[in-house]
Structure 1
Amino acid sequence: MEDVGATVFYDDEDGCLDYECLHNNVEYDYDYAEANAEKETLYELYQYCLTPSLYDTGHYLLPLLGSTLLFRLFVHTPYISDKIFHILSVVIGIFIIQHYVQESLIILVVFVLFSYSILCVPKKYIYEWGHGGIRIFLPSLLIIAYCEFLMQPIIWHKLRSVIMIMAMKAISIAIDTNSSGSNNLPDIYSYLGYMFCGVTCLFGPWVSFKDYFLLRCSNNQTYTKWWITCSIGYAFLSFVFLSISNCWTQWIFVDNSWKSVSTIFKYVIFLSNVKEILFFSYFRWLMAYRDALSFRTSHFFISYVASALLVFAGFPLSSSTIVKPLYIEFPRSLVQVVIYWNIPMHYWLKTYIFRPSIKSLGKFGAVTITYLISSLLHGLNFQLAAVLLTLGFYTFVEFQLRAMLADTFDACVASKQCAKQKCTHKYNSYNCWWVFMINFAFAGLAMFHLAYLGLMFDTSDVQETGYSYSHTINKWAELGFASHWVALATYCIYFLIK
Structure 2
Amino acid sequence: MDMLDYGDYPDDGDYPDDLYNMMGGMGGDYGDYGDYADYGNQKMEPPTYAELVTECMIPTLQQGAAMLSHLVFFCISINIVAQVGMPSVVVHILSIAVGFTSVAMVFENLILHIIYLSVLGYTLLLITSLLDIKQKGAYVGVGLVCYLIFWEFFIAEPAEWHRIRGVQMVLVMKLISLAFDCDHGVVKEMPDIVQFYGYVFFPGTVIYGPWMSYSTYCKLTNIPIVNFNWVCSLFLTCVKAMLCLLISTCIATTIFLTYDYRWLHAYRDALSFRFSHYFISYLSSLTCIASGLGFKSNSDSTTWDYPVSKPSLVEIPRSLVEVVTNWNLPMHTWLKTYVFKTTKQFGNFTAILMTYAASSLLHGLNFQLAAVLLSLGLYTYIEYVFRKRLSEIYSACIQAKRCKKCEHKYTSSNVFVILINILFGALAMFHLAYLGVMFDSDPEKEEEGYDMSHTLAKWSELGFASHYVAIATYIFYWLIK
Same structural fold, with TM-score higher than 0.5 when normalized by the shorter chain? yes
- 247, 251, 256: which one pairs with 2:250? 247
2: CA distance, partners of 1:41 / 1:24: 23
1: CA distance, partners of 2:106 / 2:435: 29
Question: 66-75 or 387-396, which moves further after superposition?
Answer: 66-75
- 353, 356, 374: which one pairs with 2:339? 353
Please state if 1:177 is matched with 2:211. Answer: no
Distance 1:323 1:99, change over 3 A: same
TM-score normalised according to structure 2 size: 0.90
How does 1:73-112 map onto structure 2 within 5 Å? 73-78=80-85, 80-112=86-118
2: CA distance, partners of 1:25 / 1:8: 34
1: CA distance, partners of 2:306 / 2:36: 38
Count of residues in Structure 1 that have an aligned counterpart in Structure 2 = 460
How does 1:128-277 map onto structure 2 within 5 Å? 131-149=135-153, 150-180=155-185, 184-219=189-224, 224-254=227-257, 257-258=258-259
Q: Which runs of 5+ in 1 are unaligned?
A: 259-279
- Deviations 1:338-379 (CA, angstroms, capped at 9, x unpaired): 01000000011111111121121x222211110111010011
Please state if 1:369 is matched with 2:354. Answer: yes
Equivalent residue, structure 1, for 2:9 = 12
Q: Is the 8 A contact 1:17 1:303 kept in 2?
A: no
- 61, 67, 81: which one pairs with 2:68? 61
1: CA distance, partners of 2:186 / 2:46: 63
Equivalent residue, structure 1, for 2:301 = none
Q: Is the 8 A contact 2:220 2:291 kept in 1?
A: no
The CA deviation at 1:320 is 0.8
2: CA distance, partners of 1:415 / 1:406: 10
- 50, 58, 66: which one pairs with 2:57? 50
2: CA distance, partners of 1:247 / 1:89: 35
Equivalent residue, structure 2, for 1:314 = 292
2: CA distance, partners of 1:115 / 1:30: 39
Distance 1:447 1:15, change over 3 A: same
Local SS of the residue matching 1:427: coil
1: CA distance, partners of 2:246 / 2:128: 52
Q: Which has the larger radius of gyration?
A: 1
Equivalent residue, structure 2, for 1:33 = 34
1: CA distance, partners of 2:35 / 2:109: 31
Among all aligned residue pairs of Structure 1 and Structure 2, give the percentage whose two residues are the same amino acid. 39
Local SS of the residue matching 1:44: helix
Q: Is the 8 A contact 2:4 2:352 kept in 1?
A: no
Local SS of the residue matching 2:136: coil
Equivalent residue, structure 1, for 2:459 = 476
Local SS of the residue matching 1:101: helix
The CA deviation at 1:189 is 1.5
Distance 1:123 1:196, change over 3 A: closer
The CA deviation at 1:82 is 1.2
Please state if 1:114 is matched with 2:92. Answer: no
Distance 1:21 1:47, change over 3 A: closer
The CA deviation at 1:15 is 4.6
Local SS of the residue matching 1:214: helix
CA RMSD of aligned residues (A): 2.3
Please state if 1:495 is matched with 2:478. Answer: yes
Q: Which runs of 5+ in 2 are unaligned?
A: 38-43, 297-304
Equivalent residue, structure 2, for 1:389 = 374
The CA deviation at 1:151 is 2.1
Distance 1:216 1:6, change over 3 A: farther
The CA deviation at 1:153 is 2.1
- Deviations 1:394-431 (CA, angstroms, capped at 9, x unpaired): 11111111122222222111111124xx3211102313
Local SS of the residue matching 2:211: coil
Structure 1 ranges of 4+ moved more than 6 A: none
Local SS of the residue matching 1:8: helix
1: CA distance, partners of 2:245 / 2:14: 13
Distance 1:366 1:30, change over 3 A: closer
Equivalent residue, structure 2, for 1:274 = none
